[in-house]
Structure 1
Amino acid sequence: MQWLIKIIKEWVIAQGYTTLAEVLATIQGTRFSIYRAGETQTVPSGVWTKVLLNSTHFDTKDEWDAANSRWIASEAGYYQANWGAGFRPGIPDGFFMLASIRINGSRHTNTQSHSSGHNYLAAHAATLHLL
């Protein structure tokens, strides 16, 4: 067991960490939960519209930019993204809703559904590879 402790200690020193909190933040990775608070946002038909997410439940690495509704990763890597978008009142029957996550301005992953005129929640999960 001492050999493992030695390896971990050498890694911590090599990375330049000075506190346990810094080490844990790296090991635990990025975690945040964001949402839209207050008034609902009007989304026009037929055009891409950014949903303004203005509130944060938590953000372990302070990477969410609420002013611009944008997440800026502090390091390259693979990230698991889970998200949902709700529409109310529902989209008229015969129409569909398309929502996406964008990476550097380009659509990366989409979710789409046909509406039946009722309130609607679209949920999606994706693995993002950020360079």
Structure 2
Amino acid sequence: MVKIIPIQRPNPQDRTAENKFYAQVVSKGNTDLERLAYLVSNQSTVREADCYAVLLSLLHNIMDELKQGRIVKLDKLGSFQIGVRSEGAASLEELTVNAVKKVHVNFRPDARMREMLENVKFTLQ
């Protein structure tokens, strides 16, 4: 179960409006590549060190492919793609690469991941 807590926040579009309560997920901690390697190794005949090496290689290759402008699709997980936030320009000629202010990674879950999200159960802490 995923725990949520109530958080009181103002309306960013109307600061004079009364605050409202919103649900916020409470994290139970982090899982890193080392932990994933341990979990995978216990579910297969592959050694933990080998799993870790493969996961690190996967990470390295995902980053390389993203830097080349490709969408990285991991079947049954989802797709990763670089996205940007930029300033607007009045004309096409005025738009330069300097308009890019922030770079981020977009993740689009695959059908199996979306299905999991639809079935998440919550409990109020």
Q: Which has the larger radius of gyration?
A: 2
Greater RCO (Cα-Cα under 8 Å, separation 6 or more)? 2
Normalised to the residue count of structure 1, the TM-score between the two structures is: 0.28
Which one has a larger percent helix, Structure 1 or Structure 2? 2
